[in-house]
Amino acid sequence: MGGLTIIVPVKAAVPNVTAVRLDPVTHNLVREGVPLMLNPYDRNALEFALRLKDKYGGKVITLSMAPPSGKDFLESTIGMGADEAYLITDRAFAGADTLATSYTVARSIQKLFPNFDLIVFGEETTDSTTAHMPAQVASWLNLPYVYYAVDAEVKLEDRLIVVTRYLEDEGVYEAYEYKMPIIISVYKNSNPPRDISLARKVEAKLNGLVKIVDNNALKLERECIGLRGSPTIVAKIEDAKPIERKKQVFKGDPREAAKWLLDNLIKEGVIKP
Protein backbone atom coordinates (compact mmCIF):
# COMPACT_ATOMS: atom_id res chain seq x y z
CA MET A 1 0.00 0.00 0.00
CA GLY A 2 1.43 3.38 -0.98
CA GLY A 3 1.47 6.54 1.08
CA LEU A 4 2.21 6.90 4.77
CA THR A 5 1.82 4.46 7.65
CA ILE A 6 0.92 6.59 10.66
CA ILE A 7 0.54 5.26 14.20
CA VAL A 8 -1.54 7.31 16.65
CA PRO A 9 -1.24 6.09 20.26
CA VAL A 10 -4.23 7.22 22.30
CA LYS A 11 -5.31 7.02 25.92
CA ALA A 12 -8.58 5.23 25.52
CA ALA A 13 -10.29 5.85 28.85
CA VAL A 14 -9.48 9.00 30.80
CA PRO A 15 -11.83 10.18 33.56
CA ASN A 16 -13.99 13.19 32.92
CA VAL A 17 -11.89 15.92 34.55
CA THR A 18 -14.90 17.26 36.43
CA ALA A 19 -15.21 13.96 38.32
CA VAL A 20 -11.61 13.06 39.22
CA ARG A 21 -11.04 11.47 42.64
CA LEU A 22 -7.94 9.90 44.21
CA ASP A 23 -7.92 6.76 46.33
CA PRO A 24 -6.63 7.89 49.77
CA VAL A 25 -4.78 4.59 50.29
CA THR A 26 -3.27 3.73 46.89
CA HIS A 27 -3.10 7.37 45.68
CA ASN A 28 -4.26 6.16 42.25
CA LEU A 29 -7.07 7.69 40.23
CA VAL A 30 -10.48 6.22 41.04
CA ARG A 31 -11.98 5.15 37.72
CA GLU A 32 -14.88 2.99 38.95
CA GLY A 33 -18.17 4.82 38.63
CA VAL A 34 -16.51 7.80 36.94
CA PRO A 35 -17.56 8.84 33.40
CA LEU A 36 -14.73 7.97 30.98
CA MET A 37 -13.86 9.35 27.55
CA LEU A 38 -11.17 9.20 24.88
CA ASN A 39 -8.44 11.67 25.78
CA PRO A 40 -9.63 14.79 23.90
CA TYR A 41 -6.11 15.94 22.88
CA ASP A 42 -5.57 12.58 21.16
CA ARG A 43 -8.43 13.48 18.84
CA ASN A 44 -6.39 16.52 17.72
CA ALA A 45 -3.50 14.16 17.00
CA LEU A 46 -5.75 11.78 15.09
CA GLU A 47 -7.07 14.68 13.02
CA PHE A 48 -3.45 15.70 12.23
CA ALA A 49 -2.74 12.14 11.03
CA LEU A 50 -5.97 11.89 9.02
CA ARG A 51 -5.19 15.13 7.18
CA LEU A 52 -1.80 13.71 6.17
CA LYS A 53 -3.51 10.53 4.98
CA ASP A 54 -6.07 12.57 3.02
CA LYS A 55 -3.24 14.43 1.29
CA TYR A 56 -0.62 11.72 0.77
CA GLY A 57 -2.49 8.42 1.03
CA GLY A 58 -1.68 5.46 3.23
CA LYS A 59 -3.28 4.33 6.46
CA VAL A 60 -3.77 5.52 10.02
CA ILE A 61 -3.61 3.04 12.88
CA THR A 62 -4.65 3.83 16.45
CA LEU A 63 -3.23 1.95 19.41
CA SER A 64 -3.91 2.04 23.13
CA MET A 65 -2.62 0.26 26.22
CA ALA A 66 -5.82 -0.02 28.25
CA PRO A 67 -8.17 -2.40 30.07
CA PRO A 68 -10.63 -4.38 27.90
CA SER A 69 -13.15 -1.52 28.25
CA GLY A 70 -10.82 0.57 26.05
CA LYS A 71 -12.17 -1.30 23.02
CA ASP A 72 -15.27 0.93 22.88
CA PHE A 73 -13.13 4.08 22.74
CA LEU A 74 -10.90 2.65 20.01
CA GLU A 75 -14.02 1.92 17.97
CA SER A 76 -14.70 5.67 18.05
CA THR A 77 -11.26 6.32 16.48
CA ILE A 78 -12.29 4.11 13.57
CA GLY A 79 -15.53 6.06 13.47
CA MET A 80 -13.45 9.21 13.10
CA GLY A 81 -11.47 7.77 10.19
CA ALA A 82 -8.70 5.46 11.42
CA ASP A 83 -8.23 2.34 9.28
CA GLU A 84 -7.26 -0.06 12.08
CA ALA A 85 -7.09 -0.07 15.89
CA TYR A 86 -5.15 -2.20 18.35
CA LEU A 87 -5.92 -2.66 22.04
CA ILE A 88 -2.82 -3.64 24.02
CA THR A 89 -4.31 -5.23 27.12
CA ASP A 90 -3.09 -7.63 29.78
CA ARG A 91 -3.25 -7.73 33.57
CA ALA A 92 0.55 -7.70 33.48
CA PHE A 93 0.39 -4.09 32.23
CA ALA A 94 -1.71 -2.87 35.20
CA GLY A 95 -0.34 -0.18 37.49
CA ALA A 96 2.12 1.19 34.93
CA ASP A 97 3.54 4.68 35.27
CA THR A 98 4.59 6.65 32.18
CA LEU A 99 7.97 4.86 31.97
CA ALA A 100 6.45 1.38 31.89
CA THR A 101 3.61 2.55 29.64
CA SER A 102 5.98 4.16 27.14
CA TYR A 103 8.10 0.99 27.09
CA THR A 104 5.02 -1.12 26.37
CA VAL A 105 3.78 1.23 23.64
CA ALA A 106 7.22 1.54 22.01
CA ARG A 107 7.90 -2.20 21.94
CA SER A 108 4.35 -2.93 20.74
CA ILE A 109 4.82 -0.57 17.80
CA GLN A 110 8.20 -2.14 16.97
CA LYS A 111 6.67 -5.62 16.92
CA LEU A 112 3.38 -4.87 15.21
CA PHE A 113 4.36 -2.09 12.75
CA PRO A 114 8.12 -2.28 12.08
CA ASN A 115 7.89 -0.19 8.88
CA PHE A 116 5.89 2.82 10.14
CA ASP A 117 6.63 6.35 8.91
CA LEU A 118 5.22 8.51 11.71
CA ILE A 119 4.03 8.21 15.28
CA VAL A 120 1.66 11.04 16.17
CA PHE A 121 0.75 11.76 19.80
CA GLY A 122 -1.54 14.24 21.46
CA GLU A 123 0.29 16.87 23.50
CA GLU A 124 -0.77 15.40 26.86
CA THR A 125 -3.60 13.65 28.66
CA THR A 126 -6.25 15.41 30.72
CA ASP A 127 -5.90 13.08 33.72
CA SER A 128 -2.14 13.31 34.32
CA THR A 129 -0.94 16.19 32.06
CA THR A 130 2.68 14.97 32.26
CA ALA A 131 3.28 15.07 28.47
CA HIS A 132 5.92 12.36 29.09
CA MET A 133 4.77 9.75 26.60
CA PRO A 134 5.94 11.15 23.24
CA ALA A 135 9.45 11.95 24.49
CA GLN A 136 9.79 8.63 26.32
CA VAL A 137 8.64 6.59 23.32
CA ALA A 138 11.08 8.58 21.15
CA SER A 139 13.84 7.66 23.60
CA TRP A 140 12.96 3.95 23.57
CA LEU A 141 12.89 3.93 19.76
CA ASN A 142 15.88 6.28 19.36
CA LEU A 143 13.94 8.57 17.02
CA PRO A 144 13.74 12.37 16.53
CA TYR A 145 10.85 14.05 18.33
CA VAL A 146 9.10 17.32 17.45
CA TYR A 147 6.50 18.75 19.84
CA TYR A 148 3.82 21.47 19.50
CA ALA A 149 3.32 20.42 15.86
CA VAL A 150 0.52 22.15 13.96
CA ASP A 151 1.17 21.10 10.34
CA ALA A 152 3.45 18.98 8.17
CA GLU A 153 4.46 18.58 4.53
CA VAL A 154 5.82 15.27 3.21
CA LYS A 155 8.11 14.39 0.30
CA LEU A 156 7.23 10.73 -0.13
CA GLU A 157 9.88 9.93 -2.73
CA ASP A 158 12.64 11.18 -0.41
CA ARG A 159 10.98 10.03 2.85
CA LEU A 160 11.33 13.58 4.14
CA ILE A 161 8.90 15.46 6.36
CA VAL A 162 8.84 19.15 7.22
CA VAL A 163 7.07 19.71 10.53
CA THR A 164 5.78 23.15 11.51
CA ARG A 165 5.42 23.80 15.22
CA TYR A 166 4.01 26.75 17.15
CA LEU A 167 5.68 28.15 20.25
CA GLU A 168 2.85 29.79 22.15
CA ASP A 169 4.92 31.82 24.63
CA GLU A 170 7.03 33.36 21.88
CA GLY A 171 4.21 33.54 19.36
CA VAL A 172 6.42 32.16 16.56
CA TYR A 173 6.37 29.26 14.12
CA GLU A 174 9.36 27.02 13.42
CA ALA A 175 9.91 24.40 10.70
CA TYR A 176 12.06 21.27 11.00
CA GLU A 177 12.97 18.81 8.25
CA TYR A 178 13.69 15.15 9.08
CA LYS A 179 14.04 11.79 7.45
CA MET A 180 11.18 9.53 8.46
CA PRO A 181 10.41 7.76 10.73
CA ILE A 182 9.99 10.39 13.43
CA ILE A 183 7.68 11.09 16.37
CA ILE A 184 5.41 14.14 16.59
CA SER A 185 3.18 15.48 19.34
CA VAL A 186 0.41 17.81 18.23
CA TYR A 187 -0.24 21.20 19.80
CA LYS A 188 -3.49 20.73 21.69
CA ASN A 189 -5.17 23.90 20.41
CA SER A 190 -4.68 22.97 16.75
CA ASN A 191 -6.34 20.64 14.24
CA PRO A 192 -9.97 20.65 15.47
CA PRO A 193 -11.15 17.03 15.12
CA ARG A 194 -13.73 15.95 12.58
CA ASP A 195 -17.00 14.33 13.60
CA ILE A 196 -17.23 10.63 14.39
CA SER A 197 -19.25 8.61 11.87
CA LEU A 198 -21.77 6.47 13.72
CA ALA A 199 -21.94 4.09 10.74
CA ARG A 200 -18.18 3.49 10.80
CA LYS A 201 -18.19 3.06 14.58
CA VAL A 202 -20.99 0.47 14.35
CA GLU A 203 -19.11 -1.29 11.55
CA ALA A 204 -16.01 -1.43 13.75
CA LYS A 205 -18.04 -3.05 16.54
CA LEU A 206 -19.91 -5.53 14.34
CA ASN A 207 -16.86 -6.60 12.34
CA GLY A 208 -14.38 -6.72 15.19
CA LEU A 209 -12.07 -4.12 13.65
CA VAL A 210 -10.33 -3.47 16.99
CA LYS A 211 -7.65 -6.13 17.32
CA ILE A 212 -6.77 -7.34 20.83
CA VAL A 213 -3.09 -8.00 21.66
CA ASP A 214 -1.85 -9.37 25.00
CA ASN A 215 1.59 -10.04 26.41
CA ASN A 216 1.51 -13.65 25.25
CA ALA A 217 1.83 -12.20 21.75
CA LEU A 218 4.21 -9.36 22.62
CA LYS A 219 6.45 -11.29 25.05
CA LEU A 220 7.66 -8.14 26.83
CA GLU A 221 9.99 -8.40 29.81
CA ARG A 222 7.92 -8.64 33.01
CA GLU A 223 10.41 -6.47 34.91
CA CYS A 224 9.81 -3.60 32.46
CA ILE A 225 6.01 -3.51 32.38
CA GLY A 226 3.13 -2.79 34.73
CA LEU A 227 3.77 -2.15 38.39
CA ARG A 228 7.10 -3.99 38.34
CA GLY A 229 8.50 -1.66 35.70
CA SER A 230 7.22 1.53 37.36
CA PRO A 231 9.70 3.39 39.58
CA THR A 232 7.25 6.21 40.32
CA ILE A 233 5.92 6.25 43.89
CA VAL A 234 3.22 8.64 45.10
CA ALA A 235 4.21 8.92 48.76
CA LYS A 236 1.60 11.40 49.88
CA ILE A 237 -1.35 13.44 48.65
CA GLU A 238 -2.95 16.46 50.28
CA ASP A 239 -5.98 18.55 49.48
CA ALA A 240 -5.02 21.99 48.23
CA LYS A 241 -6.15 24.60 50.71
CA PRO A 242 -7.82 27.73 49.37
CA ILE A 243 -5.67 30.86 49.49
CA GLU A 244 -7.07 33.60 51.68
CA ARG A 245 -7.46 36.79 49.70
CA LYS A 246 -8.12 40.38 50.71
CA LYS A 247 -11.03 41.40 48.58
CA GLN A 248 -11.04 45.02 47.52
CA VAL A 249 -13.32 46.69 45.03
CA PHE A 250 -12.70 50.03 43.31
CA LYS A 251 -15.59 51.88 41.73
CA GLY A 252 -14.93 54.93 39.66
CA ASP A 253 -13.16 56.26 36.60
CA PRO A 254 -11.15 53.51 34.75
CA ARG A 255 -8.03 55.72 34.65
CA GLU A 256 -8.21 56.24 38.41
CA ALA A 257 -8.81 52.49 38.81
CA ALA A 258 -5.61 51.72 36.91
CA LYS A 259 -3.59 54.04 39.17
CA TRP A 260 -5.25 52.59 42.28
CA LEU A 261 -4.40 49.04 41.15
CA LEU A 262 -0.78 49.96 40.38
CA ASP A 263 -0.34 51.70 43.74
CA ASN A 264 -1.68 48.66 45.58
CA LEU A 265 0.54 46.23 43.66
CA ILE A 266 3.59 48.34 44.56
CA LYS A 267 2.44 48.58 48.20
CA GLU A 268 2.07 44.79 48.47
CA GLY A 269 5.46 44.22 46.84
CA VAL A 270 4.00 42.42 43.84
CA ILE A 271 5.84 44.76 41.48
CA LYS A 272 8.66 47.20 41.96
CA PRO A 273 8.09 50.94 41.47
* pLDDT tens for each residue of 11-52: 986 766 555 566 666 666 665 655 677 888 999 999 999 999
* pLDDT tens for each residue of 226-255: 888 888 877 776 767 777 877 888 888 888
Cβ neighbours for 76, distance < 8 A, ≥ 6 positions apart: 38, 196, 201
**45: β partners:** none
Going by C-alpha positions, the residue among 67, 62, 125 that lies closest to residue 98 is 125
Q: What predicted TM-score, i.e. pTM, was given to this entire model? A: 0.80
Instruction: Decide: 146 and 138 in contact? Cβ < 8 Å.
Output: no
* pLDDT tens for each residue of 99-128: 999 999 999 999 999 999 999 999 988 777
Hey, where are the domains in the chain? 4-224
Q: Which CATH class is domain 4-224?
A: alpha beta
Mean of the per-residue pLDDT values of the chain:
88
Question: Is the bond into 114 cis (omega within 30 degrees of 0)?
Answer: no
